[in-house]
Amino acid sequence: MIDAALLPLQRRLLNPPARRLVALGVTADQITVAGFLIGALSLPALAFGLHELALVFVALNRVMDGLDGAVARLTGPTDRGAFLDIALDFVFYALVPLGFALADPERNALPAAILIAAFVGTGSSFLSFAAIAAKRGLDADRYPSKGIYYLGGLTEGFETIALFFAMCLFPAQFPVLAYLFAVACAITTLTRWYQGWIALAPDKKS
């Protein structure tokens, strides 16, 4: 919901380290893959109840997710980079609730499953709109640096990471947080369906 407003601040903070990484010969794709692997470590950490460690992995993943974009802007964005960024992000998002489910299946499995299903709704609506938008040559004015059409909503990247932080800090509240965010994701999915229905309607003049 507020991702677009945070982009200028993110760029100011990440440009200096990004320039250093470029000077060292580090590529955006390398950062993307490394960030995903670090973020994936949150799964075993959560499964074994190491919530503080999982929080560190989640935070590092997000920092590297911003750094890969900053490096790409300096060296030139690529289609492969855009693909890796979004594909690995969606897998990472599913790993966090899965980790809580593995830690306590009796208590957390159902809310985790519902949250992951809600993520499928937001992710599929996001990607399907982006695919048709690319076919039509549409651009997202609010997110000019994104490699694909970025369709916003109530639950975007910032809100999702804030949720993960809250879950790691207050693990006993995982079911409540998961159910509440699943509802917010459902609202996002419905609004994106509506946007797609309107924006991608057939041209009646043709």
pTM for the structure as a whole = 0.84
Greater pLDDT, 154 or 121: 121
Q: What is the pLDDT of residues 81-115, one digit of tens each?
A: 989 999 999 999 999 999 999 999 999 999 999 99
Q: Between 1.20.120.1760, 3.40.630.30, 3.10.580.10, 3.40.50.720, what CATH number should domain 3-199 receive?
A: 1.20.120.1760
**Rounded distance between C-alpha atoms, residue 95 and residue 196, angstroms:** 28
Instruction: Give the residue extent of every domain in the chain.
Output: 3-199
User: Position of tokens 């999702």?
Assistant: 160
- The pLDDT value recorded for residue 129 is 85
Round to whole Å and give the CA distance between 158 and 62: 10
Residue-wise pLDDT for 142-170, tens only, equals: 545 555 555 666 777 788 999 999 999 99
Res. 141: pLDDT tops 60? no
**Three-state secondary-structure class, residue 144:** coil
